[in-house]
Chains A and B, each alone.
Chain A
C-alpha cells in the first residue's frame, strides 16, 4: 500500500508501483485537473507540485512517492483562488483551456522561487508548457500581474 498526501488529504493506493502519478490522480482518486497531453514530459499539461516542486506527473512513478506531498490545481485554489488563478481570470488567459492547469501550476512554482520574475525568467520557466492556442503573451502578462499581488 502506498500512502501520500494529495491536496492536504491522506490518500492510499495499492496500484502497481510503476503507475504514473497522473494515472493515479485521475483514475484512482478522481482528481482530473492535471491533464494527459503527451505522456513523455514534452507538453507540461500534467504538471503538479510534489514536495513543492513542479513536476510532470506523467513521469512520476507512484511507487516512489510514498510520503510525498502532492498539490494539484484543485488544492492550489481550495481555500481561495491563488493569485495566479485570479490573474488568469483577469487576463482571460485560456482559450481551449486544456493546458492551463499545468501552466498555472508551473507559474505558481516559478513565483514561489522567483517572486518578481523578468520576462526572461518567465520564458525559461514556462517554455516546457505548451499551448496550442498560443496564449503565451497573456500567460506572461498574467504572471507579472500575479507577482504584483503576491
Chain B
C-alpha cells in the first residue's frame, strides 16, 4: 500500500517534490543524493549488494541481453528463464524493427496489462536495453564496474543514475513496473523506492564495487 501510494504521488508532478523530500531529510532540494562523504564505503557496499540483487533478478535482467538481441522470458509460475517465445529477435535496433516490432504485442500504454501471460505494457515503446548495458550472464562485480562507467551507462554520473530512475517512473517506464508486473510474475527484492535509495547511497559512497 505504501509503495503504491508513493508511486502514485510521485507520478503526480505537483506532489512529487514534497514526498521525495519528506522521505530523506538529508537530501538537497535538487537531488536525492546524500551529501558526498556522508555514506561510508561499508554502507555503500551494503547498498550495492541490494542493488545487485535487483539488477540480477530476471525481472530486471531479462531485457539487458547481449548482441544476440534475444530477450529472455521468466514465465509466471516458472523459476527457470528461457529465450522469449515466438522466435523473437529484437534486432540491432533493439525494438524489433527489422522483423517484428516489440510493440506488435507490447502496446505502448500508460495503462497496465495485468492479465496472466499477456504482454506487459509500459508508457514508451517496449525495447531491449542498449547492448552496452548487458547484465545477463555477468557477475555482480562486472555489472557494478559497468554501471559506474559513463561510457557504458548512458553517460551518467551517480546522481544521473538516480535521476534516470525517477525519470523512468515519471513516464511509466520499465523500472517501477518491475515491482508491479502483474499476472503472477515474480518481482525483484524490496521496492522501487528502496532501490532508488540504495542507488543514491551507493553513489554517495563513491560507487564502491566488491573486490
Contact = CB atoms under 8 A, between A and B. Distances in A.
Q: Please classify the interface of chain B as helix (H, G, I), strand (E, B), loop, or mixed, using the class held by over half of its residues.
A: loop
B99 interface: yes
Interface residues of A, number: 24
A128 B113 CA distance: 19
Interface of B: 86-89, 97-101, 103-105, 107, 109, 111, 113, 115-119
Contact of B88 (A18, A55, A121, A127): A127
A127 B86 contact: yes
Given A41-B105, A55-B107, A59-B113, A124 B100 contact: yes
A29 to B, nearest CB: 20
Interface in A102-116: 106, 110, 113-114
A54 interface: yes
A53 B107 CA distance: 11
A15 interface: no
A56 interface: yes
B111 A61 contact: yes
Given A56-B105, A59-B107, A125 B118 contact: no
A140 B46 CA distance: 54
B97 A59 contact: no
A54 B101 contact: yes
Contacts of A55: 103-104, 107
B103 A125 contact: no
Q: Which of B86, B88, B89 has the most CB of A within 10 A?
A: B86
Contacts of B115: 40
Contacts of B100: 54, 106, 110, 124-125, 128
Given A18-B111, A56-B119, A59-B107, 19 more contacts: A40-B116, A41-B118, A41-B119, A54-B100, A54-B104, A55-B107, A59-B105, A59-B119, A60-B107, A61-B107, A61-B109, A64-B109, A64-B111, A114-B98, A124-B98, A125-B100, A127-B87, A128-B87, A128-B100
A40 B87 contact: no
A119 interface: no
Nearest to B117: A40
Contacts of A59: 105, 107, 113, 118-119
25 contacts: A40-B115, A40-B116, A40-B118, A41-B118, A42-B117, A47-B104, A53-B103, A53-B104, A54-B101, A55-B104, A56-B105, A59-B113, A61-B111, A110-B100, A113-B97, A113-B98, A114-B98, A121-B99, A124-B87, A124-B100, A125-B99, A127-B88, A128-B87, A128-B88, A128-B100
A72 B86 CA distance: 23
Contacts of B111: 18, 61, 64
